[in-house]
Amino acid sequence: MVATMQLIDGNEISKQTLAELREKIGRLFAREKIVPSLVVLRVGDDPASVSYVKKKEKTAAEVGIKGTVKVFPPDISREELAREIVALNADAGVNGILVQAPLPPHIDEKSMFNLVRPEKDVDGFSETNLGRLAQDLPSAIAACTPAGIIELLRRSRIETAGKHAVVIGRSLIVGKPISLLLLSKKSNATVTLCHTGTTNLAEISRQADIIVVAVGHAKFLKKEMVKPGAVVIDVGINRIPDATKKSGFRLVGDVDFDEVAPRCSHITPVPGGVGPMTVAMLMRNTFLACCRQNGIAEESLL
Ligand code: NAP
């Protein structure tokens, strides 16, 4: 048991982040008469997507971003969706474009992400933005969930420089970009990236000062995989049956929280950890994209 275990409160940190952002957006309008704008493209009616997009629209309105949602039928062709993206790329009144995943199986997601102009790619999934991240370029727009993890670490005053970070999961939206962010000169961590082909995973994760888990399996990370005093960031969102809930299920992360938390110095809960930061970072990315497109330095709005 680590006596000083601290819960990283993503709800509270996202509230602070959004409050600061709202002030900057207010100053941007007062000084330049500019309102950042975000367009979200949703295809079909996947219930999780409907609820995520609603949350994005609501949060945009709260911070002073003009949010627009465009909904398309599930049988929209690849060409039609591509035409929409190209038109938004050319629209000077649009600062950020987000193509909500998942797309129907007949449309290749990566090709749609890559169509979004990198300067408007506020999801950060395009090959250009991932490439810029790999090159440590300031013009990169980092994917929202990984950017949110860095913000949680920074605001919790958790040192990353010189630390060994083990990331479990190598997806485009979490594992790869968080590895690049932790590896950047700014974070300066030593990073090990694990996946299903990793042998002796527990032996590797036990060496970590910081563990980021994004595998999508409920309660995957067990206490014997964690060194006492480690920082554990749980990205997972998994539904497990729970007869005591009206819905019949509850959300748990990729970490077996009850057994791992007592060993950690810091840990994120699920829900209320990484999740709320993802939407906050989307708003921040949209604001940054707007500033860059208008040649305004963010620091001048502090
Ligand atoms: P994903 O695309 O399914 O990727 C999962 C990754 O985990 C893959 O790289 C996979 O390895 C690896 N993996 C799976 N089982 C493993 C095992 N037994 N040992 C080692 N590695 C294993 O998932 P994702 O999109 O990154 O999402 C991961 C979780 O995070 C999900 O629960 C998702 O809902 C959640 N999520 C949350 C947020 C948020 O805002 N909080 C955002 C995004 C995702 P291989 O590559 O070898 O298959």
Whether 219 is catalytic is no
Q: Given this model, what pLDDT does residue 299 score?
A: 84
Q: Given this model, what pLDDT does residue 108 score?
A: 97
**Rounded distance from Cα 174 to ligand 1 centre (Å):** 8
196 lines ligand 1 (CB under 6 A): yes
Take atom 17 of ligand 1 and give the residue whose Cα is closest. 196
Given a cut of 70, the residues of the chain with pLDDT beneath it are 1-3
Question: pTM score > 0.85 for this model?
Answer: yes
199 lines ligand 1 (CB under 6 A): no
Whether 123 is catalytic is yes
Take atom 6 of ligand 1 and give the residue whose Cα is closest. 169
Considering only CA atoms, give the Rg of the chain.
19
Q: Given this model, what pLDDT does residue 300 score?
A: 86
Q: Given this model, what pLDDT does residue 3 score?
A: 61
d(CA 302, CA 288): 13
The contacts of residue 171 (CB under 8 Å, 6+ apart) are 214
By DSSP bridging, strand 96-99 and strand 249-252 are: unpaired
